[in-house]
Structure 1
Amino acid sequence: MFPAADRDRGPAWLGSAWDRAARQDEFPASAGWEAVAMIEGRAAVRDEGGRFLALDGWRGVCALLVVCFHAPVTGFAETNGLIRNAFLFVDFFFVLSGYVITHAFFEPLREKCEFGRFFLLRLFRVYPLHLAMLALYVAFEAARLAVAGPGDAFRGGTSLEGLAISLLMAQSFGFLDTLTWNYPSWSISAELVAYAAFAAVVVTVPRLILPLSAVAVVTGIVVIALVRGDMDAASHLGWLRCLAGFSFGVILRRAVWRPEAADEAKGQPIAWSLAEIAAVLLVVVFVVRLGGTILSVAAPLVFGLALYVFTHEGGIVSRLLKSRPVAFLGLISYSLYMTHAFVIDRVHNAATVVGKVTGIDLFVESTQGRGELIGPQGWEGSLVLVVIVAGTIVFSWITYRLVEKPGMALGRRLLARGGTAARPGSARAAA
């Protein structure tokens, strides 16, 4: 079914159940659009032969909403409640990640007890693009330093201290009061914590995965509610926010999911279409009405309910999410998430230059407390938003092809080259 993957299979261990779970992150385009999926979602290869393609579509949709949330523009993005509170869709990523990582890796991890191999596979899934984007930011700051001399270069949001923390993937631990450099990457650093915690439990005390996950969910929600007052935790407690969402995804997969449920749903398309529409409405109303309140800490629970509905893929919304355009967004969703801040910053630079050249001030102060925005008129801001989204999509396709896929392949080659002897992270070695 996947000839390109078969040609590059390499050592025999790549054919095991463990390595099928490890290799699911990359399906060749020749396999058709049915194989288009993303990050952990692409890992969600059902034992029964299907994939959670609707969830991959959700990743693309959520990534675009986060792009719109960060875009400093007037118009639709400033006034729309869904976009204004779209920071919450990061929690959808966390829940989905916990669900599909559990689906793909729980049994291989429990059987093989290879903590190190699992963690390195996940690290090579996320770190190459993170490193590439940091390199772009550093190159831009170096150019500023060379052209303008000492000033704002390597200061503030692009400080050397922030660079060190970003390289170490420690952005979500509170070492700095604000996010720096490629600011969306805080959630990737938090995901690494969730990966490590998940694998540690599975290889040591797998029977406790559900109670420990429940503790993580409750602790995360309560602590963030008490300390923050809403779910917008990133540089501080971002790791706990991720762990809560990830853990709820683990619970959904281990305690609720039934392998026969999807087949049963196919026989009730009208009922599941209504359920999917209700789930979408629930998410929209929750984000719009409660996104800025203390009740936003319930995001993992709300998104988890919606996610569970869409794992059945039984309704019309699922069919839309599995369509080619949305599937493509799912394919590049990690790149969308990791590259959009750089694109936004460069658009901001361009607007500044245009303003200086023409004498027209292209910036206004936000009426929603979001600082300086591009677009004196709302339609101008909306036009800039289209440019940002389009530019991010194009750039993300490039980084997916040139960074993400080679990074995953490199990780697999290094692990294959190490063979059985290079397994320092096994459960016994870790103990």
Structure 2
Amino acid sequence: MEANMLSTKPHYPVLDALRGVAAITVLAFHIFEMHATSHHDQIINHGYLAVDFFFLLSGYVIGYAYDDRWHQMSIGQFFRRRIERLQPMVIIGMLIGGALYYFHDSPAFPNIHAVPVWKMLLVMLVGCTLLPLPPSADIRGWGEMHPLNGPGWSLFFEYIANILYGLFARKLSKKILAIVVGLAAAMLIHYAVTSKNGDMVGGWTFNETQLKVGFTRMLFPFFGGLLLCRTAKLIKVKHAFWLCSLLLLAILAMPRIGSKQQLWMNGLYESLAIVLVFPLIVYLGASADAATGRFSSRITKFLGDISYPLYITHYPLIYTYAAWWSRQPKGTPAKEALPAALLCFFSALIIAYACLKLYDEPVRRWLKRKALKTVTA
């Protein structure tokens, strides 16, 4: 009976698909990033804001999935369900990062050959737990708290957000939650407008400065999504997936705003995108008319299925691409990298889908069966 009460609710297919759109955009952003000379000439310039969009989506979905279940669910059950959903792919992402690590020895990562295998394995083991590593344990040189799979930093903050929700945020009234969200929005806008680079980039290094960035990027979107879930009156919106996808892509692909002397303009753009436009996209996506065609249904399902596996497994391939590009003769035109870039892009999609079907779904089914046996025992 308890297992039935905690069965999975129907998903918002458009919201799941928008996560996939954002994940594919992140993949393309990271490939283009290898050819940028600065933040100002980066193609898909604001692709990193997909992480902030993920946080907002997560807050909304967590509120929808769990807000009305606390009379029949313990904190332990909530945490278990979140670990079952997130941790299997965290582990496979770190294993892929470890498997490819020594292939990255190159001018981009000049010290890899000097890292002993035992140290790499230790970093991989810690990475599988998602516990952050200090800069002293960085075996790549990019200052990441997870040197084998950089995007693990956002999952680290995702877990913190889930812990905050499970321990106290679930109990907050709408009024108190609105105050928290307002303060978090003010903090985010202030940081973006006054930051030295005029953007929201950062959060992946385990030090005081970068942890501040990470918490700033997580607090408003996650709790803003939670507030949106609790207060929004949904209406039916036709063609919401295509409308939301175009709006999201426009935000992420927008060229840099302002000059190097007007960094605050870009910070203002990014903060308003996160505070105003992303909630609108999520609202429209949640309001999507259920009457969708076969083609749209297949597209949204594929994007929703592949979104998380793609995000958490693609970056070891980005390291590989960066290592390959750094070995090319200086002055090589970026267009010469197109075949390798396409290979990286489609390989990431294939690996993500294979991990989904051959690993993630079977592991989660096994964990679910094990949980059901524990409940009925």
Classify 1:224/1:193 alpha carbon distance in 2 versus 1 (closer, same or farther; 3 Å). Answer: farther
Query: TM-score, normalising length from structure 2?
Result: 0.75
1:412-431 equivalent positions in 2, closer than 5 A: 412-419=368-375
1:94-109 equivalent positions in 2, closer than 5 A: 94-108=55-69
Gaps of 5+ in 1: 1-11, 22-44, 46-50, 353-360, 366-375, 422-431
Is structure 2 residue 366 aligned with structure 1 residue 390?
A: no
The alignment covers a number of residue pairs equal to 346
Tell me what 2:113 maps to: 151
Is structure 2 residue 225 aligned with structure 1 residue 249?
A: yes
Contact kept in structure 1, 2:241 and 2:288, CA below 8 Å: no
Amino acid in structure 2 at the alignment position of 1:93: F
Inter-partner Cα distance in structure 1 for 2:76 and 2:353: 30
Classify 1:418/1:222 alpha carbon distance in 2 versus 1 (closer, same or farther; 3 Å). Answer: farther
Amino acid in structure 2 at the alignment position of 1:56: D
Tell me what 1:404 maps to: 360
1:280-291 equivalent positions in 2, closer than 5 A: 280=248, 283=251, 288-289=256-257
- Give CA deviations for 1:283-342 in whole Å, capped at 9, x if unaligned: 2576753797322234421211222223222599x9799452453132111111111112
User: CA shift at 1:54, angstroms?
Assistant: 2.0
Inter-partner Cα distance in structure 1 for 2:25 and 2:284: 20
Inter-partner Cα distance in structure 1 for 2:322 and 2:155: 25
Classify 1:113/1:162 alpha carbon distance in 2 versus 1 (closer, same or farther; 3 Å). Answer: same
Inter-partner Cα distance in structure 2 for 1:15 and 1:388: 42
User: CA shift at 1:388, angstroms?
Assistant: 1.2
Q: Which has the higher contact order (CA 8 A, sep 6+)?
A: 2
Contact kept in structure 1, 2:47 and 2:252, CA below 8 Å: no
Is structure 2 residue 73 aligned with structure 1 residue 84?
A: no
Classify 1:333/1:255 alpha carbon distance in 2 versus 1 (closer, same or farther; 3 Å). Answer: same
The percent identity for this pair of structures is 22
Contact kept in structure 2, 1:191 and 1:243, CA below 8 Å: no
Between 1:327-336 and 1:203-212, the stretch displaced more is 203-212
Inter-partner Cα distance in structure 1 for 2:99 and 2:242: 50
Is structure 2 residue 66 aligned with structure 1 residue 66?
A: no
Instruction: Pick from 243, 257, 267 the counterpart of residue 294 of structure 1.
Output: 267
Inter-partner Cα distance in structure 1 for 2:40 and 2:187: 33
User: CA shift at 1:350, angstroms?
Assistant: 5.6
1:14-413 equivalent positions in 2, closer than 5 A: 14-16=3-5, 18-21=6-9, 45=10, 51-71=11-31, 73-74=34-35, 83-108=44-69, 110-141=70-101, 151-153=113-115, 162-163=123-124, 166-171=127-132, 178-179=143-144, 180-201=147-168, 204-205=171-172, 208-222=176-190, 229-235=198-204, 236-237=210-211, 238-258=214-234, 261-262=235-236, 265-266=237-238, 279-280=247-248, 283=251, 288-289=256-257, 293-295=266-268, 296-301=270-275, 302-313=277-288, 322-348=296-322, 362=328, 364=330, 376-413=332-369
Amino acid in structure 1 at the alignment position of 2:304: G
Contact kept in structure 2, 1:129 and 1:338, CA below 8 Å: yes
Query: TM-score, normalising length from structure 1?
Result: 0.67
Classify 1:406/1:203 alpha carbon distance in 2 versus 1 (closer, same or farther; 3 Å). Answer: same
RMSD: 4.0
Gaps of 5+ in 2: 106-110, 205-209
Tell me what 2:207 maps to: none
User: CA shift at 1:13, angstroms?
Assistant: 2.4
User: CA shift at 1:254, angstroms?
Assistant: 0.9
- Give CA deviations for 1:24-67 in whole Å, capped at 9, x if unaligned: xxxxxxxxxxxxxxxxxxxxx2xxxxx42222221111111111
Inter-partner Cα distance in structure 2 for 1:251 and 1:173: 33
